[in-house]
Each structure stands twice: as C-alpha cells, then as structure tokens.
Structure 1
Amino acid sequence: MPWRRTKSPMERVRPMHIRALAALLACLLPAVTGAAPADRETPIYLLEMGYDGGDYALLVDKQEQLLYLYRGTGDGPRLYKQFRCTTGRNNKGAKLREGDLKTPNGVYFFRGILEDEQLPEKYGVRAFTMDYPNDFDRLRNKTGGGIWLHAVNESDRVEKSYDTEGCVVVTNSDIMELSGYIALWHTPIIVDDSLVTVGSETYQRERTKVLDFIGEWEHSWENKRIDRYMACYDERFSGYGRTKARHRAHKQRLNEVYKEIKVDLTDINVFAFHNYLVVSFRQEYRSDRYHSVGRKKLYLTRDGDSYRILSERISRM
C-alpha cells in the first residue's frame, strides 16, 4: 500500500543536529502544547514516529488480549483505536522454537498480504505475513515461522483468549479496518506479554539517547572518523554478508576513494523492545563518485546507556 508523508521539524535540519534538536524539543514541547507530560503515560516501544499523522504502529498486549493502534503526531504517539485479539495457546513467555504454540515477542514488520485464493478459509478474509524470525531472533537461535496477523470467519473465536497456533488473530471486519493503516515493511507490530508505559520525562530521556547515538553514527560516517564510526557496531555485527572486521575494511576503502561523503537521514522511526531497538529511516548518500537513496533499518542492542548496531540492511528506492 503506498504511503506518503511530509517532513517533520526534525527532518528539515541536518542530521548531525539531532542531539541538540531532541533536547530542545524535550524542553519546549510542554510549553508549546500546554500539556502536562509528567502525568501522561506513553508506550516505551514507540520512541520516534511520524509527525503528520500518516505513520501508525500496532501494539499487542498478550495478557490483555488487546491490539492497540497508535498514530504518530507532533506531540508523540497517540492511541487511535483498540481491537480485541487472540494469540498463541501457549501463553507462557516468548516464542523460542517451531511448534511451541507461542506468539513471538518483539518488533516485527509486515512482509506481504494474502487473500482470496491465496488464503485458506480458516484464516478469514485477509492475512498479513510478519518477518519472524527477525535479526534479533536469529541471533538467539529462535526457530519457526509462518507468524501472521490474520482474521477468522468465526467472530466469536476472537473472544476466546489464547486460541491460536502463534498468530495474532482479529475479526474479519477488524482486519479490513486495520488494512487502511498498514504499509508493508514500514508499519510495525510490537508484541509483549504486558505492555509497558512510562512518564514523559523517562520517555524523552530514552528518545534523546537513541537519537543522540544515531546522530553520532551519521556524523562519524560523514567525517570519515573510522574508529568512532566502527565503535557504533557490536562485535557480533552482520550485514551485507560482512562481519564487523570486513565492514570496517570496506568502509576504510571507500573513505580513501571518495573525496567527501554526505549522508542525509529523514523520516526517522525508532521502535524499542526491552534491550533491542529497530531504527528505520530514508537515507540519501552522496559522494563525488556515487549517489544512492534507500530505506535503511538498523538493529540495535542496548546495554545500559550504550547502543551498538547488531545488523543493518537497506532497500533501494
């Protein structure tokens, strides 16, 4: 499904200023909105979303058996609607292996749509396939697949808690409504045993820290500071078929070949799940000999206040 959005205030400035702007927004937002942020609870999973109301995220609370639809706004993510759902029959913790009847916990993206003759009748009118196992899951040797958000023809089945083989299931009417808010490979579905919310101060602090990290990564890349750039990567890094050592050698060669490098990051989204985060953005890369535009995802691990990139991937635009 096509999607389009305007640039946020953050996106209209150079990415190297992300740190300063994030801190400024944290200070000014209460005065601008007239809100009392200390009293407002926000899901910790949605650290950065779209500003124009065009970006959405789905949150699934397995304990409550509810699916929440959130919309990105200039004042942070806002609950837009909620839906009844049912999840895996084995409700004890996250999915670990194929056939354990658990719904996986984490940040996932929708890969495709199945309907009509592609979809067996028991899955209702439509299904969205999910990218389980993701890079974090593979690192932890999790197995299995075929995890979907799908419907069911028997609407009363959704009222039965924990009644699937691992998928997230809603009614036919609800999946059709949700379809209007899902963009493949862009809209996340984040699943947890019980959703965690935090106050405005904690939310802004966590948001600023990760944007600070992304700003440092981008600034080091542009300025060919290879040691600081590679310090942003985990020792277990894997991306583009390269280990961390091979990635360093590749970037060092490019630093020597190109006279200058410019990197612009826009349309930034940050989705967190405990000690893992997924950061996605539109990336425009320019040098004196090469130009590319693509959508990049960084998979980060967090240890206290430190972040490291476990993997990254880009799809050309």
Structure 2
Amino acid sequence: MFSSVAVRVLGGLRQCLACGLLAFGIGCPLASPHLAQAEEWQASLYNEGLPTHLVAVDKKRQTFMFFEKKSPLKLKYTYPCTTGQLTGDKQSLNDLRTPEGIYFVEYKIASGLDFKEYGGIAYTLNYPNPVDRLRGKTGHGIWIHSKGFGIEPLATRGCVAIGLKEIDEVGPQLTPGTAVVLAEKMDETAQPRSDTGTAQELRRLMQNWSNAWASRSVKMFDYYDPDAYSKAMTENFVAFRQNKERLFKSLQFIKIFNRKINVLEGPGYWVTWSEQLYTASNLSTEGVRRLYWQRGKDQKFRIVGMEWAPRDLGMRADFQKGQLVAEAPLQQVSDASSEAPQPPRLDMPEAAPEKTAPVAMTVPQPSQDKTAQAATAKPGQGEKLVAANDPLVPKRGSTPPPAEVNWGARPSMEEAARTEAEAAQKNAAAKAAEQAAPQTPAALAASQLPPPASVQAPVQAPATAQVAGQMTAQPVAQAAASTPASAPAPLALTPDVVAGLEKAVKAWNADFASRSMDIASLYDQARFNREAGTPRGYSYNSTMREFERRFAAPWLRLISRKPKFELQGTLAVSHVEQLVVTPNAMEQGVRSFWWNRDDKGDFRIVATQFRPDELGLAADYLDQVSDDVSAMVEKWRKAWEAGRIEEYIEYYADDAIQQGRWGAKNIQKQKEQLWQRVKPTLVQITGLRLVADKQGIRADMNQVYADSSGHTDRGTKTLLLRFDGKNWRIAREDWALLGAPVEPVGTVQ
C-alpha cells in the first residue's frame, strides 16, 4: 500500500522510461512526451441506468475500485494501482499517459505475456473509443493487468496495473463488456448521485432510436451528427445512410429488442449500451450495442459513434421460445416504401456474428502511427479497409499491441547530463560511422512508433552498461578497458568485411523468409544480449522460441532493401529497411544487427533492434503481388458473369463476409437460389485500384451489373483479398450503389 503523498512525490521524480520493443530488433529511445492537453476529469455515477458491475480508477490517488449494483451501488473491492508515468489524459501514441473516459473490457489474455511486466494476465480495453477518434487521439493497447514483482506509483506506459493477488480476485468478474471508468478523480463516497434527468433522457433516446430502426424509418438518421459520425467511425455517414435506406426497402421486417439500457457519463460525452437482439427477414444476430452521444449546437443529444460486440447472450433462444423480456415493447409499424420486393442483391444487411473461439495471445503486432490515423480517415483517402457500411460487422484483426512492452533489462531514469569527454567521444564515433557508411535519416532516426511483432527491449546509449538492474553511464574508453585482454581488435569496413556482412545478412533474410530454424546458427549463443553498449532484450533461448512461434504461421513474405553498415568498437552493425507480411499483419521499419566476428572469421549476431518506420515498402510489396491479384479478380469476374457457381465460390475464403452473409457456404446458397430465378448477364469492372492492408490487399473498383430480368445497376465494389499461402481469396466483399440504374456498355476484355 502507498499513500497519495508518495504517489505525488514519486510522480514528480519519475522520468520517461525508454520504450520496450520486440525481440527481432531491440529498442528505440523515446522522444520527449507531449504535454497534457486536457483538464482533469472528475467522474460521477448516477443512479439511473447503472450496470450491474463496473470498474472505476482514480488516477490521482492511484486507486482501483470495483462496484456492484445490488440496490444500492456497493463498493466491493478497493486496491492500490499504478497508471501512466505522466499525468493527464492520453492524447497520442507513446505519450505515457492513461486515458480518461468510459471504456469496456474486450477480452482476457492469459498466455504469452511476460510475467514480470504483466503478471501473466491482462484484460484489454477498447481505447480509442469513437469519441477519442473524433478528438484526434491516437495510441492503442490500454490494458488492465498485473505486475510480477509488485507495483509502484505511475509506472506504466498508459495501462492500469494492480497486484497479483488482486488480479486473481477481481479478474473473473472482468467479463467482456464490463464498463471501466478511467478518471483523474473519483469520489466513491459520493456515489451514486441522483439523476438530473439526463441519464433517463438518454435511455429514452436509445430506445426511440431502436424503434425508428425497427420501423425502417428515415427518422432514425435524425439521431446522428453526420459530420462527427464520419470522423469518429470508419465509414462516411452518407454511405451509411444510403446502405440503410436500401435495406429498409428490401427487408420484409426488422425487430430489435434491448434487454436493458445502461448509461454512463464520460468527459464531454455520454455512453448508452444494451444487450441487443436484431432479427430481420434474412438474419438474426445478438450482442452488445453501444452508442456515444454529444450535445449539438442546439443542445440536443446526437449519436457521434457506435460500437457493436457480437456475443452469445441467449436472447435469440429466448426469442424463439417466446420468453425474451426486453426493456420496453418496440414499435413494429413500418413507414417503408410500398414498392414491390426487389430480387436479392449484394447489398444485404447486418453481418452474422463471428464464430467465437478461445483468444490465443500472440506477441503484440505492429500498429504503425499512420495506420492508426487511417482508422479515422474518410473513405478514399488511403485508409485501411472500411469495415462495410454497417456497424454490426464484427471487427477482424490481430491482437493490438499493448501500450507498454518493457521486457528485458529495465532502463533507469535518463541522465540529466553527460560528461564533456563522453559527448566528444560519441560525436567522434558518429562522425566516423557516417563517413564509413552514410545512413538515411529514416533508417537511423529514433522512433515513437509501436513495436513490431516480436518483443524488443530499449536501446541503450552506446556508452551505458547494466549492473544489477541499474543503468550507469560509462565512457566508451572505460567500457573498452573492461573487456578481456583477448578481445579482438576493432574491425575496419574493408571489402572483405563488407562482403562477409552482406553474406550474413543475406543468410538471415533467406532463413527468415523460408521460416527455417537454421537461422539459429547465425546467432552467437554465448554472447547474445550480453555485449555492453548494445540493445538488451530477450535471451537467446527466448528469441529462438519466438522464431519458432512466428515460423508456425502458414506463410510470410520478406521484402528487404540493400543493407548499410557502420562500426561500433569491435562490432559491426548492419541496418536494412524491411517489410514483413504475414497472414494477419504487415510491419516495416529498419532492422539492425550487431555482429561479432568469431575466430573462424564468420559473423554472428550479438544484439538486434527493429525500429518501425514508414518507408514506402508497401509499394514494393504491391509490385510483387499485383499481377497475381489482378489475374485472380478477373477470373472471379468471369466466373460470376457466366454464373458458374462452383468456380465462383472457389475464390472466397471459408469465413468470407459478403454484405450480411457469413461464410462461403451461405454465400453459395444465396447465389444458387438467386441464379435459379435470374442469371447475371454482365459484370463490368473498371478502375481497379489495389491498396496494401495489414489483413491482405484491398481492391476497389467501379462495377456495372446486369441480369436476365433486365435489371442493371452500378456502384463501387470493394474486396479484401487474403493470401492463404497458395492463392488469393476474398475475405470480405462490400458494395455501394451509385445513382440510378444504367444501361450497360461494352464488356471488359
């Protein structure tokens, strides 16, 4: 236990820790973090719409609280906790702050975590939420976790950490969907407060919004702030509305049941959420719906963001038995158009929920800053694939990296100053290295970007050494003096040395690309991770286990540019710009190796580092795969146009999503039924554009479609194409109708 006074004292003394990274390349020094940009938020709970249990964190007092609602609200657990190293609301990636607002537990990670830093268990939160994205906040990987060797105040990079005993006690109750209030201040003795009417109003608004949706009424769109929604979500509001209006005309009915509507106030916004069952003439799905509300200039609340978490809640079974108890009866009156039903098309409604599977922890994957920005960009600006014009489509992707990865040797506080001799030696070494092998700014600049897909430890200054967990400054001359007398003489970048290094880098690339554990022979087992002045991280054995884990993937692709070299004392250092593509991730940056030359003259790796950076390598990747992708799209188009169902369905992944249909079998069934009545006569594609995506390749194109009934339409087709190790297949297909029906023109050759 510790006092709030100790928290403030330690918080004032604490300096920025260098960021921990992943084991295939190790370390990047952290630049000066941003200043806090938000006022202190003091959270309040109201007695209207409270959930059955929730977490609250008082950052100022470093206190973790768990509440249960059993008429009245009861504080069940209170623990000391630790939050971000710097105070204030999180604003940007790597700013070392814990966010403030209303968040929700997503899932539990119970394996693959470093025990020292995480205690072996973590619960992920949904930061950034839609309002965070609306406000331009960046970052990711905010977790509730533990610490293997105790906690101390203000010691994380943005997460919330509690003790081992505490995480074991409260953890089973941190189920997916649990509300988490992260605030600068929270007075549990004054909770809950009487509702001023706002919470009740928002519960009513969510119910009315559900009624308008179920009635297929255009009044549903009056509940939204279009501009804010477009900024906060991964879809444009105009496209969202057009898609919904088409569905309102094509569906025979929609029913929506909210089991209980909860509400909490955040800093400048409110959140309402409910367990929800959606059932329509073609689909039934259930999960948790969340709406984010802000007041407009007219002081009316409007929706600025939405979230949907598919989950088996038993509501569908209760509905089928006639036993579903909803919060209030819903209107079933429809004001939809009385037009005659149209033949089924691709623009179907909400997708069915994903098949749930146990969450297997993967080593955190890269999430480059530009990718994070792309999540808030409008369509057509090069952002990552828009997840359809439908909020019910479940998100697909790898586990996001945590906000902190401090595996390996823990650095101390930055030295306030260095000696003149040390600075002079450092400048001289840098100048000599530059003359020997000039480096590009992108390759050598320090980065605040998140870690790649392997755990790295912080880069240390060349003139530092580690003693019993403490970092101590040491002149280069002293470091050299401390090496054994038999240490080899410094290298020179002679032609034979450069040739040997190029051969060694080429061998590493070949083994990595072929997923061969022969890569182990390139590492100096005795000296790896033990050389003074080099990055520290995983041990040799841990690094090899990480290779085995990564090589277990069905495929990977490596793109590597020509290496560049420099010298550092008795070691040679190689820097190479690389892109690694795996089934669920894409990472690029500068990979560096510190090489020692053994008695036989062979080079062996003694330290590694990876600095993520945007280097334009995705274009090189597209050059390699574009011919195959384009050929696949054309074959798919021809199979579709000819109505050859067996050939057509071969181009879809087993778990593909096609505008409301989940799985290749369901897609095939719908097409068979449709093509028995009307057959496609023309599928015309123009303006094909390919964009690299961490989940595969996104293909956008203009499409004109015609069938045997005389129906024609045109619009934009978007395909997410995923490589399975042998072939490219469609993982997702989205369709946005444009304008009125058109007369088809000549076919595509």
Who is 2:270 aligned against?
Answer: 277
Distance 1:293 1:116, change over 3 A: closer
* In 2, Cα distance between equivalents of 1:63 and 1:142: 21
Question: What's the offset of the Cα at 1:105?
Answer: 0.7
Shift of 1:315: 3.5
Is 2:283 aligned against 1:294? no
Q: Is the Cα–Cα contact under 8 Å of residues 282 and 296 in structure 1 kept in the other structure?
A: yes
- State the distance in 1 between where 2:129 and 2:241 align: 24
Q: Specify the alignment match of 2:147 in structure 1.
A: 152
Q: 3-state SS of the aligned residue for 1:103?
A: coil
TM-score scaled by structure 2?
Answer: 0.33
Based on CA coordinates, which of the two structures has the bigger radius of gyration?
A: 2
Structure 2 counterpart of 1:164: 156
Do the aligned partners of residues 64 and 46 (structure 1) sit closer, same or farther apart at CA in structure 2, a change above 3 Å counting?
farther
Contact conserved, 1:240 with 1:313, CA < 8 A, in 2?
no
- Distance in 2 between residues matched to 1:70 and 1:147, nearest whole Å: 21
Q: Which amino acid aligns with 1:87?
A: T
SS state at 1:64 partner: coil
| 1:124 maps to amino acid | G
- Aligned with 1:176: secondary structure? helix
Q: Is the 8 A contact 2:119 2:146 kept in 1?
A: yes
Instruction: Please give the alpha-carbon distance, in whole angstroms, between the structure 2 residues aligned to 1:67 and 1:189.
Output: 10
The counterpart of 1:221, out of the listed 205, 213, 218, is 213
Q: CA deviation at 1:96?
A: 0.8
Contact 2:203 2:261 in 1 (8 A): no
- Alpha-carbon spacing, 1:244–1:76, altered in 2? closer, same or farther (3 Å): farther
Alpha-carbon separation, structure 2, partners of 1:243 and 1:274? 25
Deviation at 1:299, TM superposition (A): 2.3
- Contact 1:271–1:277 under 8 Å retained in 2: yes
Structure 2: distance between partners of 1:124 and 1:245: 46
Q: How many pairs were matched up? A: 264
* 2:224 paired residue number: 233
Letter matched to residue 246 of structure 1: A
Verify the 8 A CA contact 1:298 1:309 in the aligned structure 2. Answer: yes
Q: 1:44 maps to what in 2? A: 45
Residue in 2 aligned with 1:70? 67
Q: Distance in 1 between matches of 2:200 and 2:212?
A: 18
Measured after TM superposition, the shift of residue 45 of structure 1 is 6.7
Structure 2: how far apart are the matches of 1:85 and 1:112? 20
Task: Indicate which of 302, 314, 317 corresponds to 2:308.
Answer: 314
Answer with 243-252 or 205-214: which moved more: 243-252
Deviations 1:73-127 (A, max 9, x none): 3x35332221111211211x20111222111111122233334543342222422
Q: Gapped runs of 5+ residues in structure 1?
A: 1-41
The CA deviation string for residues 3-42 of structure 1, in whole angstroms up to 9 with x for no partner, is xxxxxxxxxxxxxxxxxxxxxxxxxxxxxxxxxxxxxxx9
Matched, 1:193 2:190: no
Distance (whole Å) between structure 1 residues aligned to residue 149 and residue 243 of structure 2: 54
Deviates more, 1:120-129 or 1:191-200: 191-200
Would you tell me which structure has more strand in proportion to its own residues?
1
| Aligned mates of 1:241, 1:252 — CA distance in 2 | 19
Counterpart CA distance in 2 for 1:163 and 1:46 is 34
Residue 204 of structure 1, CA deviation = 5.4
Q: Which secondary structure does the structure 1 equivalent of 2:305 belong to?
A: strand
2:246 aligned residue: 253
Deviation at 1:275, TM superposition (A): 2.2
Query: Measured at CA, do residues 251 and 88 of structure 1 come closer, stay the same or move farther in structure 2, by a change above 3 Å?
Result: same
C-alpha contact (below 8 Å) 1:56/1:182 kept by paired residues? no
CA distance in 2, matches of 1:109, 1:199: 20
Contact 2:49 2:200 survives alignment (8 Å): no
Partners of 1:240 and 1:101 in 2: how far apart?
25
CA distance in structure 1 between the aligned counterparts of 2:141 and 2:279, rounded to whole angstroms: 39
Structure 1 counterpart SS, 2:173: coil
Residues 108 and 199 of structure 1: is their aligned pair in 2 closer, same or farther, counting only changes over 3 Å? closer
Verify: 1:79 aligned to 2:75, yes or no: yes
* Selected match of 1:136 from 131, 138, 142: 131
Q: Distance in 1 between matches of 2:63 and 2:233?
A: 37
Q: In structure 1, what is the Cα distance between the partners aligned to 2:120 and 2:253? A: 52
**Deviations 1:219-251, CA, capped at 9 Å, x for gaps:** 22223331x211101112248854222222222
User: Using the alignment, how far apart are the partners of 2:64 and 2:278 within structure 1?
Assistant: 37
CA distance in 2, matches of 1:175, 1:199: 25
Q: Contact 1:149–1:167 at 8 Å: present in 2 too?
A: yes
Give the 3-state SS of the residue equivalent to 1:43 in structure 2: coil
Distance in 1 (CA, whole Å) between partners of 2:234 and 2:199 is: 30
Provide the residue aligned with 1:11 in structure 2. none
Distance 2:216 2:141 in 1: 42
Counterpart-to-counterpart distance in 1, 2:184 and 2:277: 37
For residue 279 of structure 1, report the CA deviation from its aligned partner: 2.3
Structure 1 letter corresponding to 2:62: Q
Identity value in percent: 26
- Quote the Cα distance in structure 2 between the aligned partners of 1:48 and 1:261: 26
AA aligned to 2:54 is A
* Misfit runs of 4+, over 4 Å: 196-200, 238-241
Q: 1:262 aligns with which of 241, 251, 255?
A: 255
Contact persistence 2:216–2:248 (CA under 8 A): yes
- 2:68 maps to a residue whose letter is R
Corresponding residue number in structure 2 for 1:7:
none
Q: 1:273 to 1:119 in 2, by over 3 A?
A: same
